[in-house]
Amino acid sequence: DAKTTQPPSMDCAEGRAANLPCNHSTISGNEYVYWYRQIHSQGPQYIIHGLKNNETNEMASLIITEDRKSSTLILPHATLRDTAVYYCIVRVSETGANNLFFGTGTRLTVIP
Amino acid sequence: ETGVTQTPRHLVMGMTNKKSLKCEQHLGHNAMYWYKQSAKKPLELMFVYSLEERVENNSVPSRFSPECPNSSHLFLHLHTLQPEDSALYLCASSQVWGAPTYEQYFGPGTRLTVT
Query: pLDDT, tens digit, for every residue of A6-27?
Result: 999 999 999 999 999 999 998 8
pLDDT at A92 over 70: no
Q: What is the pLDDT of residue B27?
A: 95
- Chain mean position to CA A28: 17
pLDDT at B93 over 90: yes
Q: Which residues of B touch A (CB under 8 A)?
A: 2, 4, 31, 42-43, 45, 48, 55-56, 88, 90-92, 94, 96-109, 111
Ramachandran class of A68: left when φ > 0, alpha when ψ lies in -120 to 50, beta otherwise: left
Q: What is the pLDDT of residue B102?
A: 78
Subunit contact B98:A46, Cβ cutoff 8 A: no
Assign B28 a pLDDT band (cuts: 50, 70, 90): very high
- Containing B102, the helix (H) or strand (E) segment is none
pLDDT at B53 over 70: yes
Of residues A90, A84, A106, the one with CA closest to residue A3? A90
Span B75-104, average pLDDT: 90
pLDDT at B76 over 90: yes
Provide, as residue numbers in chain A, all residues whose Cβ is less than 8 Å from the Cβ of B106.
43-45
What distance in Å separates the CA atoms of residue A56 and residue B45, rounded to the nearest whole number?
Answer: 28
Q: What is the dihedral of CA A1, B1, B3, B75, to 10 degrees?
A: 80
The torsion angles phi and psi of B84, rounded to 5 degrees, stand at -70, -5
- Containing A3, the helix (H) or strand (E) segment is none
- Which tens digits make up the pLDDT trace of A27-70? 888 888 999 999 987 899 999 999 998 999 999 999 999 999 99
Q: What is the pLDDT of residue A77?
A: 95
